[in-house]
Amino acid sequence: MGINWDWQDAAGVFPLLLEAFVTKTLVLTVVGSLIAAALGLVWAVALRELPTPVSKVLAWVLDVIRMTPLPLQAFFLYYVFVQLDVMTIAFIVLGVHYSTYMAESYRAGIESIRKGQWEAATALSLPKSRTWRAVIVPQALRATLPSLGNWAIAMFKDTPFLIVIGVAEMVTSAREYGGENFTYVEAFTIAGLIFLAASYPTAVLMRRLEKRLAY
């Protein structure tokens, strides 16, 4: 069975999907990534600095978040925080969920720092906050930045899961347009091409950045 492709339908759906991409998918990815990067660093530092019993509890909570599906978490928060709009819930879900992965990247970067760096900071009597801010975090970021970028790309590809709470991002818009106009092939193909056009150059950039930052 051949696939019927209509260029007129493709041209008609493209502006709609591009708008959904810019106003929803891209915004969700950027804001979610910023939240995840900030929280991930907080989790990584807390896991190292908090007393062992507390850090173990925190590690367990992060594992639970990391090992449960993102759509399930979105669905749960949607019905718990009914007073929030769906975009706010989407930001929270993406940010918190991916912060658990970014925390692991930060942790690996922190552990890669040579012991002598910590000893030098202690010998200089640097306060712990300044040690983290001026010595540890800059070096950890250098080691983890490519990994953080890869998690942001993964988040970008996971935005369609937010359909469970009614977020009309690009794939949802493609499905709705296809259903109304019986042009699923054109709608989903254009959506896939937009995803590819956005994610592939970013992935290439992350690989180059990883090589440049390699010690």
Tens digit of pLDDT per residue, the chain (215 long)?
456 777 888 888 899 899 989 999 999 999 999 999 999 999 999 998 899 999 999 999 999 999 999 999 999 999 988 888 999 999 999 999 999 999 999 998 888 888 877 777 777 777 777 888 878 888 888 878 888 988 999 999 899 899 888 888 888 888 888 888 888 888 889 999 998 888 888 888 877 877 776 54
Read off the CATH number of the domain in which 103 is found. Answer: 1.10.3720.10
| Residue numbers of the domain that contains 124 | 7-213
In a domain, 73, yes or no: yes
Entry pTM? 0.86
What is the token pair recorded at 57? Answer: 């509890």
In a domain, 31, yes or no: yes
Q: State the pLDDT at residue 213.
A: 61
In a domain, 86, yes or no: yes
In a domain, 55, yes or no: yes
The residue among 98, 132, 95, 130 whose CA lies nearest residue 113 is 132
Q: State the pLDDT at residue 115.
A: 80
In a domain, 186, yes or no: yes
In a domain, 2, yes or no: no
**Secondary structure (DSSP) of the chain:** -PPP--HHHHHHHHHHHHHHIIIIIHHHHHHHHHHHHHHHHHHHHHHHHS-HHHHHHHHHHHHHHHHS-HHHHHHHHHHH-TTS-HHHHHHHHHHHHHHHHHHHHHHHHHHTS-HHHHHHHHHTT--HHHIIIIIIHHHHHHHHHHHHHHHHHHHHHHGGGGGGGT---HHHHHHHHHHHHT-HHHHHHHHHHHHHHHHHHHHHHHHHHHHHH--
In a domain, 1, yes or no: no
Q: State the pLDDT at residue 1.
A: 44
Domain total in the chain = 1
